[in-house]
A and B are shown apart, each in its own frame.
Chain A
Amino acid sequence: MNIYIVDYGTCNLGSIRQAIDKLGFDAKIASNPKSLHNVDKIVLPGVGSFSQASFEMKSKGWFDEIKEHVLHRKRYILGICLGMQMFASTGEEGRQSEGLGLLEGTVKHLRNIGCARSVPHVGWNDTQIRKVGCLFKDIPNGIDFYFVHSYCLVPTNNNCISSIVNYDKEFVASVEHENIFGTQFHPEKSSKAGIKVLKNFLEL
Chain B
Amino acid sequence: MLWNDLGLVKGKKFDSWRRVGTVLPAIKIYNSRDVDELLLLDIVANKTFYEPDYDNLNEFTNFCFVPFAFGGGITNLNQIQKLLSIGADKVCLNTVNYVSPTVIYEAAKKFGSQCIIASVDVKIVENEYRCFSHSGTKCTNKNLEHYIKELEDRGAGEVLITSIDKDGTMEGYDIELVHAVSSKISIPVIASGGAGEYKDMERAIKEGGASAVAAASMFHFTEKTPDQAKVYLKDRGIPVRIPFDNN
Contact = CB atoms under 8 A, between A and B. Distances in A.
Nearest to B114: A122
Contact of A143 (B89, B157, B242): B242
Interface stretch (A33-41, A79-87, A90-98, A186-194): A186-194
A4 to B, nearest CB: 18
Interface residues of B, number: 25
| Residue from the set A12, A19, A143, A196 with the largest chain B CB neighbour count within 10 Å | A12
The size class of the interface chain A forms with chain B is 20 to 34
A142 B31 CA distance: 20
A195 B65 contact: yes
A14 interface: yes
A47 to B, nearest CB: 9
Interface of A: 12, 14-15, 17-19, 120, 122, 124, 139, 142-144, 146, 148, 188-196
24 contacts: A12-B61, A12-B86, A12-B87, A14-B58, A14-B61, A15-B63, A15-B87, A18-B62, A18-B63, A120-B114, A122-B114, A146-B66, A188-B65, A189-B65, A189-B66, A189-B89, A191-B35, A191-B65, A191-B66, A191-B244, A192-B244, A192-B245, A193-B244, A196-B246
Nearest to B36: A124
Contacts of B114: 120, 122, 148
A15 B64 contact: yes
A contact patch SS: helix
A189 B88 CA distance: 11
Interface of B: 31, 34-36, 58, 61-67, 85-87, 89, 112, 114, 157, 241-246
Top 10 closest pairs, chain A to chain B, by CB: A14-B62, A193-B244, A144-B241, A122-B114, A18-B62, A12-B87, A124-B241, A192-B244, A191-B66, A14-B87
Given A124-B36, A143-B242, A192-B246, 8 more contacts: A14-B58, A14-B87, A15-B61, A124-B241, A188-B65, A192-B243, A194-B65, A196-B246
A19 B64 CA distance: 9
Contact of B65 (A12, A19, A139, A143): A19
A139 B87 contact: no
B61 A191 contact: no
